[in-house]
Amino acid sequence: MNKLKKILVTGATGQLGSELHVLSVNYPEYEWVFADRTQISLSALNVLENQLHAIRPNIILNCGAYTAVDKAESETELANLVNHQAVAVLANFAKEHGAKLIHISTDYVFDGTSSVALNEEAITNPINIYGTTKRAGELAALAVNTNVLIIRTSWVYSRFGNNFVKTMQRLLHERDTLGVVNDQIGSPTYAADLAQVMMDIIGNAKWIPGIYHYSNEGEISWYEFVLAIQEITGDSCEVSGIPSSSYPTPAARPTFSLLDKSKIEEIYGIKIPHYKESLKNCLTSEV
Residues with Cβ within 8 Å of residue 99, at least 6 apart in sequence: 57, 58, 59, 60, 93
Contacts 24+ apart (CB under 8 A), 132-136: 133/66, 133/72, 133/76, 133/79, 133/80, 133/82, 133/83, 133/84, 134/65, 134/83, 134/84, 134/105, 134/106, 134/108, 134/109, 135/105, 135/109, 136/80, 136/83, 136/84
Catalytic residue list contains 130: yes
Max CA distance (Å), the chain: 62
**End-to-end CA separation in angstroms for the chain:** 36
Torsion of CA 143, 144, 148, 152, to 10 degrees: -40
- Angle in degrees, 0-180, between the axes of helices 129-144 and 86-97, rounded to the nearest 10: 20
The catalytic residue among 66, 108, 130, 223 is: 130
If phi over 0 gives left and psi between -120 and 50 gives alpha, with beta otherwise, what is residue 277?
alpha
Residues with Cβ within 8 Å of residue 73, at least 6 apart in sequence: 128, 129, 250, 251
CA 9 – CA 201 distance, rounded (Å): 15
Question: Quick count: other Cβ atoms within 10 Å of Cβ 219?
Answer: 12
CA 274 – CA 287 distance, rounded (Å): 22
Catalytic center residues: 130
